[in-house]
Amino acid sequence: MQVINFLSNLAMPLVILIIVIYGVMEKRKVFDYFLEGAKEGLEIVLNIFPTLIGLFVAIGALRHSGILDMIIRFIMPLLNIIQFPSEIMPLAMLRPISGSGSIAVATDIMKNYGVDSTIGMMASTIMGSTETTLYTIAIYTSCVKIKKTRFVLLAALIADVVGMIVSVGICRMMS
């Protein structure tokens, strides 16, 4: 285990060292390339900043307005039919929107039900088998100035729903 920890700690400095050595051998201005990359990175951050602010405001409003609870109560009959636990629904609804919001909800689920409970395992499996779809699409498409995302969004949300349903099914089979 100590060897793995040592190699893990060594990986990034070693990659950086290899890049610098290769740049020096090729007689390239490594630091100038680094500065150009840092400058481009800052430009990307400035370009996506309005998108991030909009997403964070929308997520905060959604979490604190009570809309999630209202939606869960509305779809409860369907959840009972497909045997999808209502305790997982806040996570299922926030996961495509917000990574930090879904981590908070998953943490709350773990505190309330335990990490080894079926509900806890379902929450963990959902976190690992789905993506923060809206966030990812918004960031990636705004970086490259893509405006038409409806088909990507539809496919990604379908993948999230399938991942959630399969997560619940597999956790039910395992418990």
Burial of residue 99, with CB atoms counted within 10 A of its CB: 0-12 exposed, 13-18 middle, 19 or more buried: middle
Predicted pLDDT at 128 = 92
Confidence of residue 13 (pLDDT cuts 50, 70, 90): very high
pLDDT of residue 145: 77
In this prediction, residue 49 carries a pLDDT of: 81
Is 10's pLDDT higher than 80? yes
Contacts of 166 (CB under 8 A, 6+ apart): 129
Does residue 33 sit within a domain?
Answer: no
Within a domain: residue 74? yes
Q: Residue 30 falls within a domain, yes or no?
A: no
What share of the chain has pLDDT > 90, as a percent?
Answer: 31
Domain count, the chain: 1
pTM metric for this prediction? 0.65
Query: CA neighbours within 13 Å on the CB side: how many for 14?
Result: 6
pLDDT bin (cut points 50, 70, 90) of residue 97 is confident
Whether residue 157 contacts residue 133, with contact meaning beta carbons closer than 8 Å, is answered with: yes
Mean pLDDT of 126-146: 85
CA pair distance 69, 100, nearest whole angstrom:
19
Sign (positive/negative) of CA torsion 31, 33, 36, 38? negative
Q: Look up residue 160 and give its two tokens.
A: 């999230």
Residue 148 lies in a domain: yes
162 vs 126: CA distance, rounded Å: 10
| Residue 48 pLDDT class (50, 70, 90 cuts) | confident
Residue 78: inside a domain: yes
Using the predicted structure, report yes or no on whether residue 32 has a pLDDT greater than 80: yes
**Residues 66, 19: Cα–Cα separation, whole Å:** 51
First to last CA, the chain: 30
Host domain of residue 147: 48-174
Residue 59: inside a domain = yes
**pLDDT band for position 51 (cuts 50, 70, 90):** confident
Q: Is 52 exposed, middle or buried (0-12, 13-18, 19+ CB in 10 A)?
A: middle
